[in-house]
Structure 1
Amino acid sequence: MLTVDNLSVYYGAIRALHQVSCRVDQGEIVALIGANGAGKTTILTTISGIVSSSTGSIAFEGEDITRMPAHQIVTKGISQVPEGRRVFARMSVQENLEMGGFILSNKQEIKQGIERAFTLFPRLAERRKQAARTLSGGEQQMLAMGRALMSNPRLLLLDEPSMGLAPMLVEKIFEIIVEINKTGTTIMLVEQNASMALSIAHRAYVLETGEVVLSGSASDLASNPEVRKAYLGE
């Protein structure tokens, strides 16, 4: 579904990614794990067109999207849940969801998208008229995910969904990620909580200083002594 080939990205003189190659097959959950500053978020923002690459290519469902602008990439079927949630603070929950459906011209589709979000996240339905800034961190994460799903993406890019959440909420968010995947949405997941990420992913890539240093099935990486020592606290 997605192929990233020899991707290099620079922020000014600083190299964020160096010849990174990875792929996501249809129906998978693929995790990117690594320390802070390893380049995980840069991969997602480059795929979604927010950051430009210096070299390399990105193909989605056989089409080259390397130089495509971000708003056009959304129409192709890729949506991103940004790190730090970034909800529209002054808008209501419902208005945030409507913003996520900006590419939909059919009012019925928008209505169905909102109902889907409220089914996945019943807490949002209870707060549909509340300003997003009044929500808890967990509720804002649910809203950011619901907003990203409004455009009916075939590939969902999830950036640090557990950041700043209580352990009980982290489990709930990961259960919902699995549920979203089971309904047919392919997922690329960036996550600091490596053990949680590997517990739900099919495959994973380990990044260090902008390079892929290990890749394989999530279960193989979870039992790899180096990974256990570096990322699973063992």
Structure 2
Amino acid sequence: MLEVHDLTVRYGNIEALRDVSLRVDEGDVVALIGANGAGKTTTLRAISGLVRPYRGSIRYRGQELTRLSAERVTAMGIAHVPEGRAIFANLSVQENLLLATYARRDRSRVQEDLDLVYSLLPRLAERRRQNAGTLSGGEQQMLAIGRALMSRAQVMLLDEPSMGLAPVLVVEIFRLLQEINRQGTTLLLVEQNARMALQIARRAYVLEAGRIVLAGAAREVASDPAVRDAYLGAA
């Protein structure tokens, strides 16, 4: 469904990614883990068209993405839930959700999708007229995920969805991601909480200093001694 091949990204003279290759099959949950500065966010930004690669290929359902605008990538069915959520604080919850439908042509189905988001996220339904900036951190993350769903994304790129959240909310967010995947959305998940990410992922990649150093089934990656020492801590 999504294939990245030999991706290199530079910021000036700094090489943020070098020859990164990964694949995401339809229906998958794929985790991308690594330390701060490893290049995880850059990988997602390159896929979604926010960063132009220096070299390499990004293909979605066989179509090359590397020269497409972020708007075009979104319209093709790839939604990016960025680190920090990037909600519109002065707009209501429902206005934030509806903003994600601007490029959709199937206007008759927008209400149907809004109802689906509210059924998945009843807390947003309760706060639909509330300004998004007044929501808690967990509710804002739910809103960011709900907004991606409103774009009818087939692939969701999630950047640190559990960052800054209390443990009970982290569990809730990961349960939500599992339900979204069960309903048919493919997930590529960047997450510092490697333990939780590897529990829900089917496949995983470990990124260090801009390079993929380990790849495989999530269970196998989680059992690797170096991964356990670096990212999982004591069992």
Instruction: Please name the residue that 1:140 is paired with.
Output: 140
Q: Which amino acid aligns with 1:206?
A: V
**Which digits, 9 at most, give the CA deviation of each residue in 1:167-201, with x for residues without a partner?**
00000100010000011111000000000000000
How much does 1:111 deviate?
1.1
Aligned residue in 2 for 1:159: 159
The answer to whether residue 21 in structure 2 is matched with residue 21 in structure 1 is yes
Cα deviation code 1:195-232 (max 9, x no counterpart)? 00000000000000000000010000111111000001
Query: In structure 1, the residue corresponding to 2:16 is in which secondary structure?
Result: strand
Q: What is the total number of aligned residue pairs between the two structures?
A: 234
Q: Aligned residue for 1:38? A: 38
Q: For residue 117 of structure 2, give the secondary structure of its aligned residue in structure 1.
A: helix
* Secondary structure of the corresponding residue to residue 143 of structure 2: helix
In 2: Cα distance, 1:95 partner to 1:13 partner:
41
2:152 alignment partner, SS class: coil
Deviates more, 1:171-180 or 1:101-110: 101-110
Deviations 1:14-64 (A, max 9, x none): 111001000000110000000000000110010000011000010000111
Counterpart mapping for 1:2-21 below 5 A: 2-21=2-21
Counterpart AA for 2:188: M
Q: Which residue of 2 aligns with 1:50?
A: 50
Question: Quick one: distance in 2 between partners of 1:137 and 1:12?
Answer: 34
Q: Hey, what does 1:175 align to over in structure 2?
A: 175
Counterpart for residue 63 of structure 1: 63
1:76 is matched with which residue?
Answer: 76
Shift of 1:106: 3.5
Partner SS for 2:33: strand
Gapped runs of 5+ residues in structure 2? none
CA distance in 1, matches of 2:161, 2:232: 18
CA distance in 2, matches of 1:15, 1:113: 40
Alignment identity in percent?
58
TM-score (norm 1): 0.98
The CA distance in 2 between the partners of 1:129 and 1:66, in whole Å, is: 38
Aligned to 2:195: 195
* C-alpha distance after superposition, 1:85-116 (max 9, x if no partner): 01001000000000111112343222112111
Q: What stretches of structure 1 of length at least 5 have no aligned partner? A: none
SS at structure 2 position matched to 1:23: strand
* Deviation of 1:141 (Å): 0.1
- Residue 154 of structure 1 and its aligned partner are, at CA, apart by 0.9
SS at match of 1:58: strand
Q: Matched residues in 2 for 1:120 and 1:46: separation?
A: 29
- Normalised to the residue count of structure 2, the TM-score between the two structures is 0.98
State the Cα distance separating 1:68 from its structure 2 match.
0.5
Q: Tell me the SS of whatever aligns to 1:87.
A: coil
Task: Tell me if 1:221 matches 2:225.
Answer: no
- Runs of 4 or more consecutive aligned structure 1 residues displaced over 6 Å after TM superposition: none
